[in-house]
Every structure is written in C-alpha cells, then in structure tokens.
Amino acid sequence: MSTSDVALRLLLGFVLSFGGVLVVGDSFDLNPTDNFCSRWYTQSVVKNQVLYIDGGLQKWNGTDIKPADDQGVFGINNYLITIPLDKTFSWKTNITINSTPKNESSPISGSRPPSLMRGHMFHGPANDTAVYSYSGTVFMGNLSFPSYVDPQSSEYALWSYNPNATGFPWEQNDIGQPWRPNHGLVTEAIDQGLGFYLNGQIDEGTSQETLRNAGLDQYHALDGMLVINLHNYTSNNISTSQVRGNAPRIGGTMEYLAAVGGKGILVALGGQINEEQPWANVSGGQLIDFSAVDIFDIDSYLQTPSSNGTWYQQNTTGDIPKPRIDFCTVSVSAPDNSSHHIWMYGGNDPISSTMFDDVYVLSLPSFTWTAVYTNGGSPRWGHNCHLANGRQMVTVGGNITDHVCDWELRGIAFLDLNTIIWGSTFRANNTVFEVPNKLFAATGGSALGNATIKEPSSGWTDPRLKVVFDTARKWDLDANGSKKNHTGAIAGGVVGGVLGLALIAGGLFLWKRRRDKARQPVELEGGDNEAKDRPGELHDEIAKAELAVNEENPAELPVPDPVELPPPDPSELHAPREAHEADQNMATTTDAVELPSTNVAAGARPGVPHLRTPGDDLPELPAYTPGLTRPDSGPRRGSV
C-alpha cells in the first residue's frame, strides 16, 4: 500500500464509518464547480494564459448527492476544467470556470480520454497549442460512482488535448513504454520539447493488467527516468542508479532550470523510497530529506544517450525543511539568471502523520534553503503549483484537514513571489519576478540579480558539478523541431473507403453538437460573506506595469494568440455562503443506494463497506483520525 493511500483510506473510512450508505438524488448530474467540496491529486498546467485542470480525486457535495452524515462523496473528477488567466480576477468574486465533460469517445479509436489521479500534464513545445496528459491511476475507492471506468491499457498512455481542434480534441499516442506510472517526479524542458518522468509506481488502478490483481509484484515502484520527446512521441527509459538512495522514489518533485549547464539541469527534491521492498510501503518506507538534492545534467544525456547521462548530489545548507511528500514546487530565476530559486509549498509526512502549511525556497548556486512562510494554520497536500505571469505561484487543489471542505472555494490561490503575500486575486498585468529581500542572504546582489554568492558555503559535494554551473547555455536558434501525428487505435475495426469516411464525418458532427450543448462556462460571483478575508492579503490594487517577457526562462514561455475559452452568455452563479455546508432545508427526492459488492473488501458488511484504494487489498477498520496531524496552530496562509 502506498504512502498516500493510507491518508486516502482514513478520509474514506471516516465517511463510511457513519453509515456507509450513499443517498443520491433522482438526477445525479454532478458539476465539478457547483458540487465542489475539495479536489486533490489532479493533473494541471498553465499554457497560453489558461490554467488547465484535469481529473483528480474530488469530494463532491450539494443537494443532489449526500451520504448519511452529509460529509460528501468521493469520486473521480471526469471534467477538463479551464480557467482563463488573461484578465485580472479574484476567486472570491469574478472568476470564470469552464468545465467540459470527458464523456465522449474518440470517433477514430473508440476510446474515451481517461480521468485519473496522481498523473501529470505537460505544457508541450512552445509552438504547439496542445497540452499533454500522461501517467496517473484510476481511483478504485468508489466503484459505484457514476463516472467510474475500469483502467485502460497502458499502451497508449500519452493523451493530447488541443483546444483549437475543429473535431474531437483528444488524441492518443503510444510512447513505447509497458506501464503507465503514477506518483512520480515530473518536469519538462519546454524550450526543448522534452518531458522527464523519474520513477513512480504502478498499482491496481494502472491498467487492465493490474486491475484487481492482488499480487505484490503488480504493485511496485518503477526504476529509471523516462525522457519523453513531445515532438515525435518517443521515449527512452534511462538508468537512475546514480540517484541518492539508489532506489525508486515516489511523491517528490523535480524542477528544470534552463539557464544552467549546456542544456539545462533537473533538480530532484524529496520523495519516499523503500530500500528493502520493491513496492512503496508506508511502514517500511523512508523519506528522502532535503539536506541534499539530486541534479541531472541534460547535456550529458543528449550528447551520449547510451550513457544514461550524469547525476550529481549536492548538499544544502540553511533552513532545511522537514522531510515530506506530496508537496509542490515552482522554479524561477533572477532577471539576469545569476541566481535560481525553487519554491516549495506544503506537503505531508505520512510516517509521523504531520501535514505542513509552509513555504521554503532553495536558492542556487549557493544551495541555501530559506524559510519564507512557516507555521500556517491550514496544511495542504496533494496539490499542484504553477508559475504564472512571471511572479505569481498558482496553487491548485489539495487535501486539507482543518475543514470538511476546502475553504478556498474555487480550489485555487495565489502567492506573489516578490512580496511573499498570499491572495485571492490573480493579476494579469504583473511585472516580472524580482528576488525578494528575504533571499538576499542566500544570493547577495539585488532584486534584479547580480548575485555575488556563486557556490555553496560548504563547497561543491561533487567538484564536477561546478563545471556544469560554469558551462554557458547552448541556446538553439530553432528548438521547435518537427511533430509527428500518429494516433493509436485501441478499439474499433478498420474503416475503409467512402463508407468509412462518411461514418467518421457523421460521428464528428453528432459529437460536436453534443459537446457544444454540454460546454457551459460559469462566471462565479460571491458576496462579501463568501469567505473571510485573510489578514495581509492583497486586494484590488492593480499593478500598472506591463508584463515583460523573459525569453531566457522558458519554464513559462509566452505563446502568441492566446485562446479565448469562455463562450458567450455565461450563466451567473452565487457561491455558497459557507465553504462546506449544503443547504439542509431544500426539499429533494432521494433514494438510498448501497455500494455494489465489487466496491468492498474483506471485513465489510451490508451498508458499511470498506472502500478499496489503489494497491489496497487488506483495508483496516474505518476508524476516523482527523486527517493527518498538522504542526502547531498558526494563522492561515496570507497572514503576515
């Protein structure tokens, strides 16, 4: 059983321990916005001034669906959610959210795009309008949920979504790997069109081959790092025997620093390993601390792919964070690329049952940790982070324990990296990132860069790494390359001739008409009582400077012709006044529905089933522990 599945099981056990019977309205039409309680383990990415959110485990509530204790129902999110980032807005008052159901099958292959958790969305090459969904696992904890679908084959594991497509927007691609992993460490070099997937795991929800397979050999961590070419959909699995611990890890993160070395470097942080067993296990696993990080020189691989490239370890100093998994990170460089900063937020330690609400920054090349926000009052794990407009960190989703539902009512929040202040407002006209004063001790220099600290205070752990940092970046004149378009066909026969073309055209016409009816954007407005303002939070003052594009930091390269997603005539919805309470006075006609026998494991009884989670074949009694214990109470994030 994986580390994070333990936390999932505690949460699900809490719901079922109060009766276990789901009460569902006659019309079970859930909307990811209207019925939002919380959502975590999503796949998300920012591209062309749009935030994409795909899949993830969602806790649903509202008047159409209630368990006996009004705590919400767990099930996968089967919508692709988009939030435009081309205008300034507040998630409390005027956010626009578009939700497109993933309930249509490809007219070419007959397959439906999967809705998964613990996967990843790639930005893709800068000149490509599509985004890419790769990896993830099916949530096996509620097989009676309406959107549940059995795991598909791992053969065509890379899906692309093109918002500009005139027909069906999803495509499947085979990258030549036997398994679809999940919970790995992932990043990408957008300027090179390369994705990197380090380790991860497979489990019961991985594919048809692992579905309901109790064998431990079907649930284990994966060796190696995939190098995925997002131009031509090929991949190579390279050895990671040089990585610290010499064991595959899960639950950490990896960042790409474009300006370091001949072709950039990867920095792997945290995670969990199990040196004695081939599968992730919470009781026998070990957390990888942050006293050192692993660094991969991309150029060493590109020069000689057969060598598997070179990994280095470097010790860190400063305010070293406590070990954890399921945190999120973003990276940003000083305007002159003289220093680079990896921002880490939240996470949890499943071994000590501790959750975190804090922000630490690892500054390079000094490799110094700086605590910039500590001991917040609302811990969060299983969330994602993205850099938007150069200086704002957008957080997406996350699991919390201090509320029944997420107090961030739309599942997103923003941290200004210049001022280190949390807020509910996204500012589309922000200026570029400048090094904040709190990091000067780790960099020297000024807000605009000019870093004077050029190496770690404790020296280089591996002297060869200094050579990498001293190597000038080799920027390509044209890094776009060519993109092949080879869609995999999993199901369906070969359609030939005029009859086949007519059938496909008819399918596309019917699909487009249904999709246009289903795609309904909602512009959400909330009153003053929607949520309590956080002390120290930025409000409506808007920066007047235009965003300056830093083309040497391709982690967020701007792409021309931003996509305008919101269709006309959005309906107005008012947010609930309470973050987690459904209206108990509304009359609804409901029916009690017991979960099917396929949804329970040993020890269950009618009406009180034990939910099965990925890789979990021997669930414990559903005794409730209020999530994971958080650190000493403090102010919510946003306090100063």
At 193, the amino acid letter reads G
- The answer to whether position 188 is within a domain reads yes
Of 269, 210, 193, 159, nearest in space to 482 by CA: 193
Residues 423/381, Cβ–Cβ less than 8 Å:
no
* Element at 334 (helix H, strand E): none
Q: Please give the pLDDT value at position 146.
A: 86
Could you tell me what percent of the chain has a pLDDT over 90? Answer: 53
- Three-state secondary structure readout of 180-228: CCECCEEEEEHHHCEEEEECCEECCCCCCCCCCCCCHHHCEECCCEEEE
- Residue 488: pLDDT above 90? no
pLDDT digits (tens, 9 = 90+) for 411-454: 999 999 999 999 999 999 888 999 999 999 999 999 999 999 99
pLDDT digits (tens, 9 = 90+) for 125-172: 999 999 999 999 999 888 888 888 889 888 899 999 999 999 999 999
- Residue 571: pLDDT above 60? no
The domain that holds 373 is classified in CATH as 2.120.10.80
- The answer to whether position 546 is within a domain reads no
What torsion do the CA atoms of 438, 444, 446, 448 make, to the nearest 10 degrees? -100
For strands 22-25 and 65-67, give the pairing: antiparallel
Residues 6+ apart with CB under 8 A from 38: 58, 59, 72, 397, 398, 399, 400, 405, 406, 411
Q: Please give the pLDDT value at position 511.
A: 52
Helix (H, G, I), strand (E, B) or coil at 469: helix
Burial class (CB in 10 A: 0-12, 13-18, 19+), 586: exposed
Interatomic CA distance for residues 616 and 619, integer angstroms: 6
- The answer to whether position 559 is within a domain reads no
Q: Please give the pLDDT value at position 567.
A: 38
At 105, the amino acid letter reads S
266 compared with 638, residue with greater pLDDT:
266
- The answer to whether position 554 is within a domain reads no
- The answer to whether position 488 is within a domain reads no
Burial class (CB in 10 A: 0-12, 13-18, 19+), 319: middle
- 277-290: average pLDDT: 73
- Residue 106: pLDDT above 50? yes
Residues 186/198, Cβ–Cβ less than 8 Å:
yes
- The answer to whether position 388 is within a domain reads yes
Q: Please give the pLDDT value at position 49.
A: 96
- Residue 222: pLDDT above 70? yes
Interatomic CA distance for residues 255 and 115, integer angstroms: 25
CB atoms within 10 A of CB 27: 9
Q: Give me Rg for the CA atoms of the chain.
A: 24
Residues 368/457, Cβ–Cβ less than 8 Å:
yes
Mean pLDDT of the chain: 76
- The answer to whether position 563 is within a domain reads no
Q: Please give the pLDDT value at position 593.
A: 33
Of 286, 425, 382, nearest in space to 8 by CA: 382
- 208-214: average pLDDT: 71
Burial class (CB in 10 A: 0-12, 13-18, 19+), 569: exposed
Interatomic CA distance for residues 546 and 542, integer angstroms: 11
Q: Please give the pLDDT value at position 305.
A: 94
Residues 6+ apart with CB under 8 A from 411: 36, 38, 39, 53, 396, 397, 398
Q: Please give the pLDDT value at position 32.
A: 87
Q: Please give the pLDDT value at position 284.
A: 60
Q: How confident is the model at residue 509 (pLDDT cuts 50, 70, 90)?
A: low
Q: How confident is the model at residue 381 (pLDDT cuts 50, 70, 90)?
A: very high
Counting the structural domains of the chain, the total is 1
Interatomic CA distance for residues 347 and 326, integer angstroms: 5
Helix (H, G, I), strand (E, B) or coil at 246: coil
- 117-131: average pLDDT: 97
177 compared with 617, residue with greater pLDDT:
177
Of 89, 87, 45, 95, nearest in space to 429 by CA: 87
Burial class (CB in 10 A: 0-12, 13-18, 19+), 591: exposed
Interatomic CA distance for residues 200 and 289, integer angstroms: 18
Burial class (CB in 10 A: 0-12, 13-18, 19+), 164: exposed
Peptide bond into 101 cis (omega under 30): no
Q: Which of 275-279, 329-333, 412-416, 568-572 has the lowest mean pLDDT?
A: 568-572
Number of H helices, E strands in the chain: 5, 42
222 compared with 635, residue with greater pLDDT:
222
Residues 419/359, Cβ–Cβ less than 8 Å:
no
Residue with tokens 């649930």: 219
pLDDT digits (tens, 9 = 90+) for 574-621: 333 233 333 333 333 333 333 333 333 333 333 333 333 333 332 232
Which domain does 87 fall in, by range? 3-470
Q: Which of 2-11, 250-259, 400-409, 531-540 has the lowest mean pLDDT?
A: 531-540
- 297-314: average pLDDT: 97
pTM of the entire predicted model: 0.75
Q: How confident is the model at residue 70 (pLDDT cuts 50, 70, 90)?
A: low
Q: Which of 2-11, 372-381, 517-526, 547-556 has the lowest mean pLDDT?
A: 547-556
Interatomic CA distance for residues 149 and 548, integer angstroms: 45
DSSP secondary structure code for residue 143 in this structure: T
- 6-18: average pLDDT: 39
What torsion do the CA atoms of 176, 177, 181, 185 make, to the nearest 10 degrees? -80
- Residue 286: pLDDT above 60? yes
- The answer to whether position 415 is within a domain reads yes
